[in-house]
Amino acid sequence: MNDMTMTTAVAHPLPVAPFEGRHLIDGIWQGSADGATFDRVSPSHGLVVSRSARGGAAETEAAIMAARRAFDKGTWSRATGKERSTLLLKVADLIEANVERMALVETLESGKPISQARGEVAGAADLWRYAAALARTLHGDSHNSLGEDMLAVVLKQPIGVVSIITPWNFPFWILSQKLPFALAAGCTCVIKPSEMTPSTTVMLGELLIEAGLPAGVVNIVLGFGQPVGALMAEHRHVDMVSFTGSTAVGRAISAAASKTLKKVALELGGKNPQVVFPDADLDAAADAITFGIYFNAGECCNSSSRIIVHEDVAEALVEKVVSLSRKVAFGDPLNPETQVGAIISKAHQQKIAAYVRDAVGSGATLALGGEAIRHPALPGEFFGPTVVTNVRPDMPIAREEVFGPVLVVLTVKTFEEAVALVNDASYGLSAGVWSENMHTCLAFARRAEAGTVWTNTWMDGFPEVAFGGFKQSGQGRENGRYGLDEFLEIKSVVMRIGKTRPNWVRD
């Protein structure tokens, strides 16, 4: 098993029956009109975790129109900042009270470790609290220097009905980077979670109702991209689409949304580099690199899946990363000691393996791993820690998003060569730099084409700090005040004081 650390299965109270997920439309939980459902089988334990109503065009249309009516009615869209904030704070408290219930289902649906799932669900409450604070501080601008008879104000108002489409890898966390900000702005929403991890979104819907959110403000439709996601993107009564997922699907959503020229916010893929210079703290860098590639089994848009290291320290760094990789605890997601769980599906596992085979066949070298692994007590899909060296920049494994626990190593000789290699990518989500010289770090940060640049760390994030990408990693931002601005329209109001407007038509 790649001479690696493997945690064993532990006794854990598995659900006695699948979680039953239904649509939330206009404040009412309901199944699909045709009775259709779909099951989610745990990628780690092989059991049916959830059985969800399978929505179609009828359910999607009903949800969108419920959101439209709720927005136009104004109960939420014209509520005060205090009213919105108060409800969002209630939701945050309810999330914290339901961490264990939500984390268990998310672990079984996604394959991620239970300790990680607990951290993500509990941590998401902070996103809701930060959005609640923004709801109280929302304001526009005024222009009082246009002349003594003129005054103009710039208003910020909710954009309208927002379609929110979320991925399978961080279903609750990513929803919490979108929904509370949309609600803080006064929008109404229709949500489609991934068909592979739908249940925590449904659980959140229960909490929203418990907190007192008016009917129709948040609607949930369970199902697949066709027809649910497609209709949510193109519908004329939807004013904005917020999507997180693959770049390919992001392009399709943009194309569908273009029919009505609605706003689209996209958080897409990444091929994120960490650059290591000779004066770096190699032990700290190696640990951050190991975390960056194996966190969430590498199924993360922010995964640091390519390392660009100066040739003077490349061998030493690779040795440290390989040594640390052997110590990372892969295995049963329900074991609290597990750090890396199961791959989301067998098909995705095969895709990861194909990238590695292709690279080795093209001359790359396996420093560690490179294959699927079997758990001694579980039937699920697991892929071992993998480090690939002697990689050329033109190889697919160095340019495309593998989305697995596979690290590729490239070497450079100079700062300029490193920056050029970082920016020679279709993606631009995140980048990192390791150097004890802050001049080097700052120069790199200014030149790297990435939405986030970490210096001497990796993947530290805060609700206050905006997140999003350059190039094919997306458009728009989440979190921070910029994350709220995504859900607002700007309106200028120009007012004349007194009867000072001269007649245009001459007498």
> At 42, is the secondary structure helix, strand, or coil?
coil
**Residue 400 appears among annotated catalytic residues:** no
Sheet strands (E) in 11-129 = 19-21, 23-25, 28-30, 37-41, 48-53
Which of 152-171 are b and which e, b meaning 16 or more Cβ less than 10 Å from the residue's Cβ?
Answer: eeeebbbbbbbbbbbbbbbb
Q: H or E segment at 200?
A: helix 199-211
Of 365, 283, 368, 291, the C-alpha closest to 322 is 368
> At 67, is the secondary structure helix, strand, or coil?
helix
Q: How far is CA 389 from CA 289, 310, 353, 383, 398, in A?
A: 14, 13, 16, 18, 10
Between strands 48-53 and 406-412, the pairing is unpaired
Q: H or E segment at 245?
A: none
Q: How far is CA 138 from CA 74, 80, 157, 189, 493, in A?
A: 17, 10, 9, 19, 17
Of 70, 184, 44, 102, the C-alpha closest to 480 is 184
- Could you tell me if 489 and 474 are in contact, meaning their C-beta atoms sit under 8 angstroms apart? no
Structure tokens belonging to residue 37 = 């459902």
- Could you tell me if 33 and 59 are in contact, meaning their C-beta atoms sit under 8 angstroms apart? yes
Maximal C-alpha separation, the chain: 95
**Calpha distance 149→69 (Å, rounded):** 39
Of 226, 170, 177, 174, the C-alpha closest to 344 is 170
Which among 59, 234, 267, 299 is annotated as catalytic? Answer: 267
Catalytic positions are 267
